[in-house]
Each structure stands twice: as C-alpha cells, then as structure tokens.
Structure 1
C-alpha cells in the first residue's frame, strides 16, 4: 500500500513550514533505525530528534525532545508499541504517533487497536530488515505520512476553530437556492452544490488516513437504514488489514460486512470492503449489480483506489448514488466524485476540522463536487435523512 503525496491537502502556513517537523524513531532493529533515520534526516522539512531501540527509553524522552511525530514499532522487547502508545500520548497530548507494523494478522490487529487508542495512522513495514532497505514504496509512504500529519499537527487553532467550521460547513445542507453556495472556510474558499432530488439506492464511501475511526463513527450512526441499503467501502489498506477492518465493521454495526468477492451480487443490508491489493468496482450482470475486482496498476498511487469504485457506481446506479469521502491523504476520490455528480448523484465530504488529513475530502470540496461538507459526527444523520427522502 502506498499513497500519493498530499495533493489536494491544505498547505500549512509559512511560519509552520519554516520550522522542520521534529521526528522521534522507536525501533529495536539497528538497521531500521539507521536507514529510516537517514531518510528522515535527508528531508529538508524534517529533523530526527531521537532514535531509540527501547520504547521505555522513548517514553521517558518525550518531554525532553518534544517531537511532533513519533514513528513507533509494535513488536519490541521490554515494552511493546501498544503499551508505550498511551504513555507517550499522556506525556504530550497533541503528539502524532504513526505505528509501524508488518503485514501479519497479529500486527494488523494491534495496529487497528492502536488507532482506537489515539495513534494517528500506521505504515505497513516489510517483514524483514532487508525488505525495508529495498522498498521504495515503504520509504515514500512513511515520509509522506510524517509530512502530512506533522504539518496538520502544526496548523494553528485547530481545536478552537472546530465549532465555527462545523457550523459553516453544515449550513449549505439547509439552503435550497442558489444551486452553488459560496463558503468562507478559512483559509480555503469552496462551493457546495444543491442536493439532487433522486432518492439514493446505494452508499459508496472512500477513506484513507484516519479512515478506520471515521468509518466507525459514520457506520454506527447508519443503523436506521443499514438493513435496506448496500454499502461499499474503499479504505486505503493492504491485505490482512482489510480483512480485519471488515470483521471490526461487522461487530460495530451488527450487519454482514466482508471483503468483497469477485462476481458476488450487491445486496441491500450488506457492507462490502475493498480487499487490500485489488480495486473494487461494480458492474451489471443482467439486471443485478455485482462486484468486480480488478488487479490493474495502482490509481493515484493507491490499490485499492476510490476513484474506480465511484466511477463504476455512477455507471451502474446513475443518479441514485450517494458518495461519501472521509479523511485521507492525497486526492483519490475527487475524479470519481465528479463522475457521481455528472450522473446526477450526490457527494458528502468530511470537513477539515474533524479530518486527520483534509486531502481527499478537501480535493472534493475544492473541486465543487460536494453537496455538503460536514463534521464526521454529523455525516451519518445527513445520510439517513437523504435515504429517507429528506433534502432539508
């Protein structure tokens, strides 16, 4: 799994960018510390403030080094990453922690657990030290995430602006005219569209960095409609991680949720998760929509990617598609959102204040594809109203 750089994400202010992002690296493998430490030091906007072989040492050093971002291994002797994470966050409440884990089921389970405990994101690590040294994708993804999350961490007054931004973003959903409504969403100006009148029949969701937490928030709020609506999700994740995400989604919603299988019919009441390493599309088999898995090259540096899901859904259901773009790096989903709008469907984007990274939803909003830009805790209620025929 790899990501585009922060295309579509808001740039940090000049003052925030002038000071390098301070990074702490915690990994018991000396080869990994040396190599990844050099990668970080080679970036002009980053500085390596410490590299520890012990999570216990790192916890004790948080206050002194005051890092912006910690890259934290999971499997370590003495103290593992799962144990260290809450101690680090307790030492510095606004600390950004990126978990580094191999593609094993155990590591994937722990990584998703860490997200629920306050980690900002994770990076799948090659299983061997030799793999780390020969993986440009791992290097690119790690550096991109440090940069995007470190910059986001430095945006001023994020918490104090949350309420005002939420009100600004929510207001257009209650406006019937004009069809395009301007927003003063400092520091970005974007426009929302009027909601189209067609009743939606399917919900498609795209997410990346910060997505698992956002998905849980949204899906738990959809209980009134989940029994009668098919939900298709593309979350940027590698194999194994998507398997566990589907399992967690089933537990959180009480509805069937599985990794999608090629050729299976799309049924109401079922949640389909794009499997890691395959693009998920939909096609018609006779009169029935069905899943189509594609093993083509990455799109927007992602596999699975959101754009092909959105585009194919628009081709199958036309204006009856409701698309939702949640927090994430890059701009994946923006072109597909345009396809949904062109077919007569509607798009909702998560707002900046509640996003871990406002890349993907920001790209959708700035392109003018969104009919609403909402805080994550307001999205489910809006989706339920739209599936019930309410456009207010």
Structure 2
C-alpha cells in the first residue's frame, strides 16, 4: 500500500534486527522495506529503497550510528530517524548527541524484561507509536484559537527590567512557570532555556518525557548552556527564582508547601498517559499550590499529556500558551491543548523564551 510507512531497520545484531522487523511488520500501517548491519550499508540502501524512516542503532562496527547520522543529514535532511540506544549513561549521552546531530527521537533497547515476548511488547508499546506520530497530522485547530503572527528572526536573550514592554491584558501575576514537553524536547529546550535571563524572577518546573539517566544529562547540558540554573529534581528540592527543575526519569514530580517554602516531591505511582513522569501530574500539583498565578507552557511532543492539567490551570485562572505547529517536531501535545481551546497563543520556538519572560514580568513591575 502506498500510504504505508516505509521503514529501514539498521542494527549490527541479527537478533535485534529480526525482533524489530517482526514487531514493525505486525502493524498494518508499517512496511519494513529492508535491514542493514551497519551505517555504511544503510547509507547505500537509503538511496535505493527510499524509506520514510529509519531506526538506527548507535553502537555498530564499520560506521556507528553517530557517524551515519552525520553523513545521512548531509544527503537526507528530512528523513525521519529514531535512534536505538542502551539504557546506560553511555547510551544516554550518545542519544543526546544524536538528537543534537539531527535525530528525530530515540528508544531504549529492552533489557532485563524477562522474555522475548516481553521485549517485543516493549518495542510495540514504545517504537510503533513514535513512528506513527511522525506521520500523523495532529488534531485540527479550532476556528476560535488564536493564530500566531509569522515567525520573526531569533531575538536576543531578554533582560527582566521594569522598563520592558507589557502586553495589554496580561495582568495576572505569574509566580511559577510549568513546562510540559516530549518528542523533540531536548533540542527545543536547548534552544529556548538559554534565552531566559539570569535574573529570571520565578521558579520553573519541567516534565520532559525521558528515561532515568537521560534527564540528569539533559539538565546538566542545559545548565552549562544557560544563564539560569538547571538541575534534575531530587525529593525535597526547594523552588527558587531562576532555578529550573526537571522531573527525573521514572518518577512523577509534584510540589508541596512547607510554610513559606515550596519543595519537590517524587513518587512512582502508576504512569499517566503511559508516561512517568507525566505532565498532568505536575500541572495538577502546580495548580493546587499556585492557583491563578501559573504560566503553563506546552511544547513539542507526541500524545496529549498535559491537556487535562492545562484544563485545571485554566479553570483556576492561570495562563496557558503552546508551541506552534510549524516549529514543533510533533504537534501532538500542543495540538491537543490548542484543539481544546486552552491555549491563549501559539508561539514559534524562537519567540517562546521572550514570551515567557514577558508574561512573567507583566504584573511584576506595576502593570495595571
């Protein structure tokens, strides 16, 4: 069928190639058009087979995944690539490097799951939705949703100051920024967070759908590149202005108030929206503590995690904004929020940091 998603599987392990191929071939929307044992063979087959997407192992002989990705992006800048990595610190570092080189997403290889059938199910649950997500147009935008202005050129990092302009109508004081993000998130955060000024006046809490180890490495890289502080959250971390805390992989993050101090709390309750950490869990907690004084930001990502949390924040009087479709890798999460009529504005990635800063400062410096 011409509308099937054509996939090339690249891995040096015969066992993994067969497992991935069998799992993908079991889905009627996906056609496995070939396999390759290393990057050199893969580059040759891409030209001949013209896949829509490739799954690319990171550690391979002859030409590994990162080398392959560098060459592939020179010749096929729009080909969708999902990296395959191990759930180790080395695998996490390589996956983040791959994303920075242009990979669209990654999955971790099933490990210690007990059986071949369980490993296949893990792949079925994680890989197939990601593949389909890249070829899904997303929810339709309601007519009443605001239409963003054409994207402007990237702007310099804003500096919070009383003299800065404030948009009319943005009068509710923001005491916390809560961000939900998934597919395409590491690169989007690496672009957006460094635009926030060092004297950012409120705390930031973030859920990025990633496994354990990955979230700490992402936080460390963001911290090195940004003027604000960025850390992976630990239980009992105190929220502070200019500090961004990222929920650790494998844990839901909530907030608790202890006197005048707000701290993080972590739990391993059941996943929500098939995710842990889940955006909805964090957003509910933020809304409970901060009421109307919340700015929720939904960025690129698959699925609709965060939509119910945005409903709660909006009902409490808080503000909700979302990344626009054009700059999102996958317009699932922001599209769901926009489709529900919850987003006040859809904003290109290159303007998102300045818009967050503007909204945070709006009521803080005397705007009536």
TM more than 0.5:
yes
**1:169 and 2:148 are equivalent in the alignment:** yes
Deviation at 1:139, TM superposition (A): 2.2
Deviations 1:341-362 (A, max 9, x none): 1111101101111111111001
Unaligned runs of 5+ in 1: 1-16, 156-166, 172-193
Q: Per-residue deviation at 1:195?
A: 5.9
**Which of residues 291, 308, 315 in structure 1 aligns to 2:264?**
291
Matching residue of 2:99: 115
Partner of 1:145: 130
CA distance in 2, matches of 1:348, 1:225: 22
* 1:89 maps to which of 73, 86, 96: 73
Residues 68-117 of structure 1 show CA distances to partners (whole Å, capped at 9, x for unaligned) of: 10100001111110000021222222100000101111111111111111
User: 2:326: which partner in 1?
Assistant: 353
Aligned counterpart in structure 1 of residue 207 of structure 2, from 224, 227, 234: 234
Query: How many residue pairs end up in the alignment?
Result: 340
Matches of 1:90 and 1:83, distance apart in 2: 11
Give the whole-Å Cα distance in 2 for the aligned partners of 1:299 and 1:35. Answer: 28
Of residues 309, 320, 324 in structure 1, which corresponds to 2:282? Answer: 309
| Partners of 1:285 and 1:238 in 2: CA distance | 29
The aligned residue for residue 179 of structure 2 is 205
Structure 2 partner of 1:42: 26
Give the match for residue 101 of structure 1.
85
Q: TM-score, normalized by length of structure 2?
A: 0.87
SS in 2 for 1:340: helix
**Alignment partners' CA distance in 1, 2:53 and 2:313:** 37
In structure 1, what is the Cα distance between the partners aligned to 2:9 and 2:43?
Answer: 11
**Higher RCO (CA-CA < 8 Å; seq separation 6+):** 1
Q: Does the CA contact (< 8 Å) of 2:194 and 2:227 recur in 1?
A: no
SS for the counterpart of 1:319 is coil
**Which segments of 5 or more consecutive residues in structure 2 lack a partner in the other structure?**
139-145, 151-167
| Partner Cα separation in structure 2 for residue 131 and residue 150 of structure 1 | 31
- Residue 305 (structure 2) aligns with: 332
Structure holding more helix per residue:
1
